[in-house]
A and B are shown apart, each in its own frame.
Chain A
Amino acid sequence: MTRAALLVLADGRFPAGGHAHSGGAEPAVKAGRIRDTRDLEAFCRGRLHTSGLTSAALAAAAALGLDPAALDEAADARTPSPALRATARRLGRQMLRAARATWPGPELDALATAFPRGAHQPVVLGLAARSAGLGPRDAAHCVAYEAVSGPATAAVRLLSLDPFQATAVLARLAPDMDLVAERAAEQAARAAHAGTDALPAASAPLLDITAEQHAAWPVRLFAS
Chain B
Amino acid sequence: MHLDHPGHSHHGSAVGADAHRPDGTRRALRIGLGGPVGSGKTATVAALCRELRDQLSLAVVTNDIYTREDAEFLLRNAVLPPERIQAVETGACPHTAIRDDISANLEAVEDLEDAVGPLDLILVESGGDNLTATFSKGLVDAQIFVIDVAGGDDIPRKGGPGVTTADLLVINKTDLAPYVGSDLERMARDAREQRGDLPVAFTSLTGEDGVAPVAAWVREQLAAWTAAA
- Footprint of B on A, CB under 8 Å? 13, 15-22, 65, 67-69, 90, 93-94, 96-98, 100-101, 104, 106-107, 109-114, 116, 154, 157-158, 218-223
Contacts and interface: CB of A to CB of B under 8 A. Distances in A.
Contact of B107 (A22, A93, A154): A93
A111 B12 CA distance: 11
A109 B11 contact: yes
Nearest to B114: A116
A20 B87 CA distance: 13
Interface stretch (B40-48, B97-105, B146-154): B97-105
Contact of B66 (A16, A18, A219): A219
B77 interface: no
The 10 closest A-B pairs by CB, nearest first: A20-B91, A94-B103, A100-B14, A223-B89, A15-B101, A110-B2, A113-B8, A221-B92, A109-B9, A101-B14
Q: Is the interface of A mostly helix, strand, loop or mixed?
A: helix
A20 B11 contact: no
A24 B15 CA distance: 31
A110 B3 contact: yes
Contact of A20 (B5, B67, B90): B90
B197 interface: no
Contacts of A100: 12, 14
Given A21-B91, A97-B14, A223-B91, A218 B67 contact: yes
A22 B2 contact: no
A109 B22 CA distance: 13
B93 interface: yes
A107 B3 CA distance: 6
A29 to B, nearest CB: 12
30 contacts: A15-B101, A15-B102, A15-B103, A17-B104, A18-B101, A19-B91, A19-B96, A19-B101, A20-B90, A20-B91, A20-B104, A67-B1, A67-B2, A68-B2, A90-B104, A96-B12, A97-B106, A101-B15, A107-B1, A109-B9, A109-B10, A110-B5, A111-B2, A113-B2, A113-B9, A116-B12, A218-B67, A220-B66, A220-B89, A221-B92
B4 A110 contact: yes
Contacts of B104: 17, 20, 90, 94
Size class of the B contact interface (CB-based, 8 Å): 20 to 34
A49 B130 CA distance: 39
Interface residues of B: mostly helix, strand, loop or mixed?
loop
Nearest to A66: B1
A221 B101 contact: no
Given A19-B101, A221-B92, A222-B92, 12 more contacts: A20-B89, A20-B90, A20-B93, A65-B1, A68-B2, A96-B12, A97-B12, A97-B107, A219-B67, A220-B89, A222-B91, A223-B91
A75 B67 CA distance: 30
A13 B100 contact: yes
B68 interface: yes
B12 to A, nearest CB: 5
Contact of B2 (A19, A101, A114): A114
B4 A106 contact: yes
B66 A113 contact: no
Given A94-B107, A111-B2, A218-B67, A19 B93 contact: yes
B158 to A, nearest CB: 26
B5 A109 contact: yes
A21 B67 CA distance: 15
Contacts of B5: 106, 109-110, 113
Contacts of B91: 19-22, 154, 221-223
A178 to B, nearest CB: 28
Nearest to A102: B14
Contacts of A19: 91, 93, 96-97, 100-101
A91 B206 CA distance: 41
A113 to B, nearest CB: 4
B11 A113 contact: yes
A223 B104 CA distance: 11
